[in-house]
Structure 1
């Protein structure tokens, strides 16, 4: 689509090379299968409530890219998943996540959907003040709170990690209350039997997924643009669009179809997460799969991070989409566009603006999200009892099997 982003001194992981090899070598005859997904999984309120409780509240979720809060001494709020959060970087750059609630009376501390620089976080109600590591620094008239131990009255932390250029959090898990030696973003330690906290498993986020994202250079990229879309669709219909390539030559015929080979794709799994590769026009014959810039020109990698995040690595930029279900038929999708560096010239700015308008403004915002909304209306009409999936759509079936397993 544009000049490819060539990561400096980076190499693809073994898994990324393997997916490319499958695209190159898997062009022979294939035996296709069919499967079905019940329409009710997109329509049932009880199921939606179970998904919220057992998946979006219980599993590690991607909040956004590290680049959404790049500077030390800054903070921002996040409310898309229902829990009021504050993301804060202290002066050393360590990032922590806390509930946006004062420990005095529960008052919301701040509204800052975009990063702001603050030396302290001061409650607007009674002026209790917190440092950017969550510690309670001070309060007016402390003598009126005899015996209050400030070391136990820090903000309530949310277990989280920052790895591979992404911020992950486990929203339904609460750590022990902060003390003056509060640890960083990896999550609070259990410091007594009475303060035991469930632990979030970030092993995949910090391990194989981070390795792939480090290879893509995600942690060093610049956040060029972000936009939140309100989509009148069940969240799983949106995920479905990024789990198959069957639609690319049809739905995207006027935008990006010309760049891709029809059906030349491969995929694997990383725990509950799915990883895929789609070959672009030109093919991989003769391409050295260890040559990362050459590989990036031909292969678009996509990651479906369970339960509801999509990362698409185009040749010269990355789109990260975080799905935040609001109701059975309503989903917020925050789209982030990450580029190698801040635009240095008017020509560079024009290049990235056109890429953003193409992907967020048309391919995702109109075509993919529009198809999800149209599908939701069709399912709500009762027209079909189950979705028919063909041989190029079995990633959808695998994803729904993972959802079923998570629901128990």
Structure 2
């Protein structure tokens, strides 16, 4: 089905939800053990069977627009280096020198033609190959062809850069996203401007991520920020493999769409309805008219904590200092709402779960996004490809 037509059909469903006070529902509630959020063994299994195996969205095309641009970062305890070579190709490596294990690039972003380890000045090219050894006459023979940086599976699609943290692992984005990346190609996401990021810390990564997956809490937790725009408990879900597109109608959806031809409803995002786009296991993307927030949730270092990087992009480049100041204010506002209204209660939830008060949490029929996420998480943890995949 044509993308605009499909989104138009979803808009029609969401209009019905608002007019008739309904929401997406599945057949029954789902119970999840509270130990899922506290158990050290499960946390370790999640790192090995999920975060080290699936494609992770680690960077944006807009962060590395030019040849020589690079980004060095920590991803779930793995030091990762992503760079764009002279021909424009993006690669990813473990940011670990093959000599004695030191990083070859400092964390952050920059531009350079080669990477030099600060420990002993071994130098690597943009393709990861070892090209220089300090004082080679005293070091001894080295087969440079076998001592390059360890490369990671990496692919750039739809304005984003996906990396698998396990060298030589298979990575099939078409199978993993099942057409979902067409959304970002249609939005021309590759040509947006990267504005910056903010980092916040919270509870177990799944406690934090659960909050991005439903709108049941909008009226009670966000009465002055989200609820004035978006009704509570009025949500639509679509699955694309383990990934989810969550539709949130606005209170004014009927008014916003009434004079728009039905065939154009699918091109009215932000004007009557919004989407939160979820990349399993750890990314939430909210595209707003003013600014877009992309949350990357990185678990750890212990089961009760996560580090979330809130990235901000928009279609237009920064025009002047006043525009930059306005963008900074918008980023701070989104960060403050996310932390003060969502992550603070998440920390309280973590304390509650660790108290042993209850053995299980319950996700209702109206919280299908949470159910779907936990079903896929359990599917990966079973580590048995013969099991059927969850379906929306």
* Distance in 2, Cα, partners of 1:356 & 1:125: 37
Report the equivalent of 1:336: 311
1:104 corresponds, among 90, 99, 111, to 99
The normalised TM-score by structure 2 is 0.87
Inter-partner Cα distance in structure 2 for 1:292 and 1:336: 26
Match for residue 33 of structure 2?
A: 38
How many angstroms does 1:12 deviate by? 5.3
Instruction: Please list every run of at least 4 consecutive aligned residues from structure 1 whose deviation after the TM superposition is greater than 6 angstroms.
Output: none
- From 37, 46, 51, the counterpart of 1:51: 46
CA distance in 1, matches of 2:186, 2:220: 31
Q: For the structure 1 residues 14 and 171, does the alpha-carbon distance in structure 2 shift closer, same or farther, using more than 3 Å as the test? A: farther
> What corresponds to 1:92 in structure 2?
87
Would you say 1:68 and 2:59 are equivalent positions? no
- With over 3 angstroms needed to count, the CA separation of the structure-2 counterparts of 1:168 and 1:147, relative to structure 1, is same
- How do residues 5-404 of structure 1 correspond to structure 2 at under 5 angstroms? 13-27=4-18, 28=20, 33-113=28-108, 115-142=109-136, 148-172=142-166, 174-175=167-168, 198-204=169-175, 208-231=179-202, 233-284=203-254, 285-286=257-258, 287-288=260-261, 290=264, 294-326=268-300, 327-346=302-321, 348-361=323-336, 363-404=337-378
Q: How big is the shift at 1:45?
A: 1.1
Normalised TM-score (structure 1) = 0.84
8 Å CA contact 1:16–1:212 kept in 2: the answer is no
Question: How many Å apart are 1:206 and its aligned residue?
Answer: 7.0
Give the length in aligned residue pairs: 372
Give the secondary structure class of the aligned counterpart of 2:165: coil
* Structure 1 vs Structure 2 CA RMSD: 2.4
Unaligned runs of 5+ in 2: 383-392
- After superposition, the Cα gap between the structure-2 partners of 1:207 and 1:137, relative to the gap in structure 1 and judged at 3 Å, is farther
Q: Could you tell me how far 1:76 is from its partner in structure 2?
A: 2.5
SS at match of 2:237: strand
